[in-house]
Amino acid sequence: MTNETTNTSFSYTYSAKQQEEIKNIRDKYMPREESKMEQLRRLDAGVTQKGTLFSLIIGILSALIFGVGMCCCLVWNLFIPGTVIGVIGIAGIAAAYPVYMRITEKEREKIAPKIIQLTDELLK
């Protein structure tokens, strides 16, 4: 009885769909440099984030303060303190948009030189 050993190899090829999925997963973990257009988009989008955050915080807190003022007037029959608290809430709500505009304007002034530089490089 002879025992013959054969050297066989096994080869498997992934489908195109699986290849694409593998490539996408691999690309997530590969270090990459940000293109100038991506950097320009990121900088432009980042300008409004700080203003949006602060105006949302001011607006939400002011609406809650306004709600407390309404509760004072309607539920607890504290008309004068409720009116004062409500007016403070209304003032805060009204101030949210100007705060957004002011912060966004300051951020635009800060980032303007970099945006101008990138746009000049991209337009060449």
pLDDT, one tens digit per residue, over 35-49 is 888 889 999 999 999
The pLDDT assigned to 18 comes to: 86
Q: Is residue 39, in this structure, part of any structural domain at all?
A: no
Q: Is residue 10, in this structure, part of any structural domain at all?
A: no
* Residue 1 pLDDT exceeds 80: no
Domain that holds residue 53: 46-123
Phi and psi dihedrals of 91, rounded to 5?
Answer: -60, -40
Q: Is residue 36, in this structure, part of any structural domain at all?
A: no
Q: How confident is the model at residue 16 (pLDDT cuts 50, 70, 90)?
A: confident
The pTM of this model reads: 0.69
CA neighbours closer than 13 Å in the CB half-sphere of residue 67 = 6
Q: Is residue 59, in this structure, part of any structural domain at all?
A: yes
Q: Is residue 16, in this structure, part of any structural domain at all?
A: no
Q: Is residue 41, in this structure, part of any structural domain at all?
A: no
Q: Is residue 60, in this structure, part of any structural domain at all?
A: yes
Where residue 70 falls (left for φ over 0; alpha for ψ -120 to 50; beta otherwise) is alpha
Q: Is residue 58, in this structure, part of any structural domain at all?
A: yes
Domain count along the chain: 1
